[in-house]
Structure 1
Amino acid sequence: MSLVSSIVSGRVAIRNSKEAAIDLLLFLFFAGLFCRGAAELFVSRGIALMLQFTLVMCVAALTSMLNRGYQFTPRHRILLWLLAPFAMVSAASCFLTEQLGFDYGAFYLAFNLSLGVLALAFARLTSGRLPVANLHQILLWWGWALFLVGLQDQLGGMRMPGYSFSGIMRPASLTGSYLHYPLVMALISLICFEWAVQARSLFYALSSCLFALSTVLVFSRSGVFIIGFAILCAMVIQVLRGRRAGLYWAMALGTVVVLTVGLGMSGGNSIAARAAGRIVSAVDSGSAGNSGRIVAWWQGIDLWSNTNLLVGEHTGKVTNMTGKLVEGHALTIVESGPIQQLVNFGLLGLLTFYGFLISLYFMIRPEHVYLRSAYIAALVQTSFYQSIEAIPYITLLVLFPALSDAFDIKMRGHIKKRVTFSEASRYAPNI
């Protein structure tokens, strides 16, 4: 008996050590993902970007190998079938671009292909042999870290790299960009809300609301759009499933929209009125930023129409990323994810890339309504803004299926803990 117990305890110890190792690796993964701005305190933006990319990919590979070895799952096969056409098309686009005299398309090609590699690496998290259910807890910690650093930035503390002034200061927090920070906070807010609903956690619910509020406080139309559209999607899904929660969301969303429009049109000078005005201006084609964005869309379509159309000839030219890595290159920006991929990789590249992203939606478990809603909202948001190359944002999106699996693993353990001794005793045999 002692031999059996020692073997069991040894297996438990090994399992716990692996879980601790994966938790540490995931913490480092998100550190690389969210802390480019902190790195820019010591090195240039280009070097910080390369360090971010390298750390994220290396940690993802280590996490994957520690979890499942090299065993492939059905999800791996699906992802490979979806990624193979995009890899071939994008490689052809890169080759044509280099033939025309631009030698830096490989940077953007590598970034796009790395998203597929990350999806493959984290597909291993579906294994029940080694639960990785702490994924959302680690994200919660980082959400609070980002929020607190951003808040001190707004209150006049240490200015982190990437901040901007627009009426009031728009902080970058640890991310290195005032544009990336609200996008990340919007996604973390919705992830926390999903777990708050699943586990009935008040702390996660309050954290979700606070993170959502942070996107308003930094005047981010993108962040507010993601949260608002996700609520709309959740409402529609709940109504279609015949659940009363959809009606509650409809009333809540309607109230918020009316209040926001009213505040935005009031012309007041309070922070609430100015933030509401900024949000309402998202639908005004003549507002600050929107007029130039629409012009950039048409310029991008015109640029694509003068190529071979199918596979593109401008890989790496229409992106911010190459400009950050290669000094002295003024590159075109089109302010739209689909148009950016259209110009870089052609029509086939656009269809295969977004086909891959859309397929990830169906890998999110149907019961995780708010994760699915957040994913839809985030994908739609990329149509109007150039956010598909925001590394923290697009990487979080790729991880949504893994988050869904982690929630499922955690909930199974959570439900088991709810079974009390008195409930279990009902099934005990009478002696």
Structure 2
Amino acid sequence: MFLNSSVIFSRNKLIRYDIIVLITSIMLEFVAFAQEFLGKFAFLPGSTLGLARPQSLTGSYLHYPIILVLLGFILIQCYASEKRIIYGIFGIISFVMCILSFSRSAAFILLGGLCVLILTGIYKVIKTKRIKLKNFYMSLMFIAIVLAFFYCNQNSIYVARIFSALNANSEGNTQRIVIWQNAITLFKNTNIFIGSYTGMFTNSTANFGGQSTVAESGLLQQLLNFGLLGALLYYLLFIRIKRNINKNHVWLKVALIASILESFIYQSIEVLPFMAILCILPLTSDYLNDARNRKRRRIKIVWR
């Protein structure tokens, strides 16, 4: 995380992040759609819960949607930067597939990111006391579309699944809340500065034959394992990543912020591809910025 948020590699400008993300998204979406609606690819590893929740090529129905939603944000940013409609189309498809996967974690990142985007826009208007009518009308249209979607589909099982995240008694939430309460109690009775349960609250230890448990929260996991000091240093790395994303690449920034917030209620920091995508956001931003500069240079050469 430190290297990828602090060092810009000269060879990075040769890596086509846009094409890589696009192809990866298409592959994940194709396999997931075939699993969920056509009953195909059921032999792939990872439980599908009766094909109701696809795992696609990731090996886990929990990992697939939170990976795809980040790829969707990157594609939308590629569309905003390069103005290629194919990125916008598959970015929206990625978001739709996340909703269809019944994943509340992915929905949290998606809706949380959109809320951060709206709040950021409001803050800029208040700060500058200026408003771009085009952006204002587009924002209003976007909000209207989202509200209309939820209103027209309020009886849909997909929408009900998303809103069930707000119900403490819904499936999965009851157990999760109990785990959070136990984790907080343990944290209060331990060394709050450096932690006392290093290696015990993680999925990784069990993979090597040891015994471990989960905190169902990335923040609580870090607090129990490494205390306040370790958790603070860990999340400072996320802030470091944010500072190295181009200020104009707002979709990448909101994806990172929403992912940080989501890690408070889900142990997503142990999902390796999810973390890897977050780590390369600055490199992706650098590539998109350089691609835009190359385009400008080509335009100048043509006009000369």
TM exceeding 0.5: yes
Flag the 1:157–1:366 CA change in 2: closer, same or farther, 3 A.
same
Corresponding residue number in structure 1 for 2:66: 183
1:368 is aligned to 2:249: yes
Q: Which 5+ residue runs of structure 2 have no aligned equivalent? A: 125-130
State the match for 1:227 in structure 2: 110
**What is the rounded CA distance, in whole Å, between the counterparts of 2:189 and 2:148 in structure 1?**
44
Q: Cα offset for 1:277?
A: 0.6
Larger radius of gyration: 1
Q: Using the alignment, how far apart are the partners of 1:381 and 1:247 within structure 2?
A: 29
> Counterpart in 1 of 2:14?
132
Equivalent residues in 2 for 1:255-404 (5 A)? 255-257=145-147, 259-260=149-150, 263-264=153-154, 266=155, 273-323=156-206, 325-327=207-209, 329=211, 331-404=212-285
1:253 to 131, 136, 143: 143
Deviations 1:312-336 (A, max 9, x none): 121111111222x12363x221111
CA distance in 2, matches of 1:250, 1:373: 18
> Superposition pairs for residues 60-79 of structure 1, below 5 Å?
none
Conservation of the 8 A alpha-carbon contact between 1:304 and 1:343: yes
Matching residue of 1:209 = 92
Letter in 1 for 2:146: V
> Aligned partners of 1:117, 1:416: CA distance in 2, in Å?
30
Deviations 1:257-310 (A, max 9, x none): 45325633x3xxxxxx11011011111111111121111111111112221111
Task: Evaluate the alpha carbon distance shift between residue 387 and residue 405 of structure 1 in structure 2; reply closer, same or farther with a 3 A threshold.
Answer: same
Could you say if the C-alpha distance between residues 239 and 328 of structure 1 is closer, same or farther in structure 2, counting changes exceeding 3 Å?
Answer: closer
The answer for unaligned runs of 5 or more in structure 1 is 1-114, 267-272, 425-431
Q: What are the residue-to-residue correspondences of 1:103-182 with 2, within 5 Å? A: 115-116=1-2, 119=5, 123-125=7-9, 127=10, 131-154=13-36, 155-159=38-42, 160-165=44-49, 169-182=52-65
Task: Tell me the percent identity.
Answer: 31
- CA contact 2:4–2:282 (8 Å) conserved in 1: no
The answer to whether the 8 Å contact 2:5/2:240 transfers is: no
CA 1:130–1:405 in structure 2 vs 1: closer, same or farther (change >3 Å)?
A: closer
Stretch of structure 1 that moved more, 245-254 or 331-340: 245-254
- Change in CA separation of 1:312 and 1:414 when aligned onto 2, cut-off 3 Å: same
- Kindly indicate whether the alpha-carbon contact (under 8 Å) linking 2:13 and 2:287 is maintained by their aligned counterparts in 1: yes
State the TM-score, normalizing by the size of structure 2.
0.90
Q: TM-score by structure 1 length? A: 0.64
* Deviating 4+ runs (over 4 angstroms): 117-120
Q: What amino acid maps onto 1:138 in structure 2?
A: I
| Cα 1:347/1:328, change in 2 over 3 Å | closer
Counterpart Cα distance in 2 of 1:117 and 1:364? 14
Cα distance in 1, alignment partners of residues 123 and 14 from structure 2: 32
- Paired residues of 2:195 and 2:223 also in contact (CA < 8 A): yes
Q: Aligned pair in 2 of structure 1 residues 149, 239: CA closer, same or farther (>3 Å)?
A: same
User: Residues 367 and 313 (structure 1 numbering): CA distance in 2 closer, same or farther, change over 3 Å?
Assistant: same
Aligned length: 295
Q: Is the 8 A contact 2:116 2:254 kept in 1?
A: yes
User: How far apart are 1:188 and its partner, in Å?
Assistant: 0.4
C-alpha displacement of 1:201: 0.9
Matches within 5 A, 1:402-417: 402-417=283-298
Q: Does structure 1 conserve the Cα–Cα contact (< 8 Å) formed by 2:47 and 2:55?
A: yes
